[in-house]
Amino acid sequence: MKKIINDPNLVVQDMLKGLVAAYPNSVQQVPNTTVIARKDAPVSGKVGLVSGGGSGHEPAHAGYVGYGMLDAAVCGEVFTSPTPDQVYEAIKAVDGGNGVFLVIKNYTGDVMNFEMAAEMAQAEGIEVEQVIVNDDVAVEDSSFTTGRRGIAGTVFVHKIAGAKAQAGGSLQEVKEVAEKVVANVRSMGMALSPCTVPAAGKPSFILEENEMEIGMGIHGEPGTERKAIQTADEIAAELTQKVLDDMKLTSGDEVAVMVNGLGSTPEMELYIVNGKVNELLTEKGIRIYQTFVGEYMTSLEMAGCSVTLLKLDDELKELLDAESKAPAFRS
């Protein structure tokens, strides 16, 4: 295992220390927790927005803490859900009096622990609502989930729900727009190589030099098919078509596109994939409103990518365009 770390068991703590040192004027670490919050949290009268999950997906989720997006992110150990008490501390840290909204990726541990934390907060008089993101069309159930997994589409939920909360939306209004995003966002990914959890010290799975896996999850969960490596155009076409088959988009529909790298895929390759995605959508008469290419929801140093499409309406376009000062998503 080759990694630029100190103690394999302290990577999350060391990462959070460095993150706060990089953005001291915009974020803070809640004392004695693994919670990264806005420097000005809690914001009085504003719905607080909390997300999180296992670390190893950077810049998700702490990179999305800031004006216009999340108020706090709870960072679990690598690929491990944060504990209910840590999530509870995040809820308390961002409660500005108008309730707190939780964005949860559909992994069994995350759902269970975030919901337990919500019950703890509600017992203290804090109003809490939530949405569960399940944008991955690859598989219905996996080793980590019941139902579809939550992957890169979660970033669009952060952005749009965050913009609604920043604009003064009520807890119910934030929930409604988050549910709209979840209903209209779909993703699918693939991997060329595995990743290594620092504490484990060895790859989480094996792919031969000439192999790739379609539908791979962001924790290394099995996909739908392992086969010989294809060209970028063939990969883009397969991922995009699987998403389109599930979304039932029609000519004239407008979308946001995200081509997301999983940790060690050069931007050169992501742009090549995006070129084909753009071509395929244009051929079908689907209009591209905005495109995002880069690393938004990674899997340590896994090589691979995912394609996400979000069907837009006027409300979602306005919120997508709204200002964000989060370190990993400035607009």
3-state secondary structure 10-36: HHHHHHHHHHHHHCCCCEEECCCCCEE
Task: Locate 13 and state its tokens.
Answer: 């703590």
Three-state secondary structure call for residue 261 = strand
- Looking at residue 144, what is its pLDDT? 63
CATH number of 101's domain? 3.40.50.10440
Query: Does residue 112 sit in the same domain as residue 215?
Result: no
CA 236 – CA 158 distance, rounded (Å): 25
DSSP label of 62: G
Task: Locate 17 and state its tokens.
Answer: 């220390």
Determine, yes or no, domain membership for 292.
yes
For 205-218, how does the pLDDT look when each residue is reduced to its tens digit (9 = 90+)?
889 999 999 999 99
Determine, yes or no, domain membership for 3.
no
Determine, yes or no, domain membership for 328.
no
Query: Does residue 189 sit in the same domain as residue 48?
Result: no
CA 98 – CA 126 distance, rounded (Å): 8
- Looking at residue 282, what is its pLDDT? 98
Query: Does residue 206 sit in the same domain as residue 301?
Result: yes
Tell the burial category of 94 from Cβ atoms under 10 Å away from its Cβ (0-12, 13-18, 19+): buried
Three-state secondary structure call for residue 112 = helix
CATH number of 286's domain? 3.30.1180.20
Which spans in 1-124 are helix H? 11-22, 84-94, 108-123
Domain end among 160, 184, 208: 184
Query: Does residue 69 sit in the same domain as residue 152?
Result: yes
Determine, yes or no, domain membership for 79.
yes
Low-confidence spans in the chain with pLDDT less than 50? none
- Looking at residue 142, what is its pLDDT? 65
Closest CA to 246 of 146, 148, 122, 132: 148
- The yes-or-no answer on residue 61 being catalytic is no
Determine, yes or no, domain membership for 165.
yes
Query: Does residue 176 sit in the same domain as residue 196?
Result: no
- Looking at residue 116, what is its pLDDT? 98
Domain end among 163, 184, 205: 184
Contacts of the segment 198-203: beta carbons below 8 A, 24+ positions apart: 198/1, 198/3, 198/5, 198/8, 198/9, 198/11, 198/78, 199/8, 199/9, 199/11, 199/77, 199/78, 201/1, 201/8, 202/1
* Candidates 38, 46, 57, 158; catalytic one: 57
Residue-range definition of the domain harbouring residue 312: 185-320
Number of domains the chain contains? 2
Determine, yes or no, domain membership for 119.
yes
Query: Does residue 159 sit in the same domain as residue 217?
Result: no
Determine, yes or no, domain membership for 101.
yes
CA 189 – CA 186 distance, rounded (Å): 11
CA 241 – CA 137 distance, rounded (Å): 11
Query: Does residue 44 sit in the same domain as residue 179?
Result: yes
* Candidates 105, 148, 219, 276; catalytic one: 219
Query: Does residue 202 sit in the same domain as residue 158?
Result: no
Determine, yes or no, domain membership for 207.
yes
Query: Does residue 40 sit in the same domain as residue 106?
Result: yes
Query: Does residue 164 sit in the same domain as residue 36?
Result: yes
- The yes-or-no answer on residue 219 being catalytic is yes
Domain end among 134, 165, 184: 184
Query: Does residue 14 sit in the same domain as residue 140?
Result: yes
Which are the contacts of 56, defined by CB distance < 8 A and separation ≥ 6? 78, 79, 195, 197, 298, 299, 300
Contact call for residues 105 and 150 (beta carbons, < 8 A) = yes
Query: Does residue 73 sit in the same domain as residue 202?
Result: no
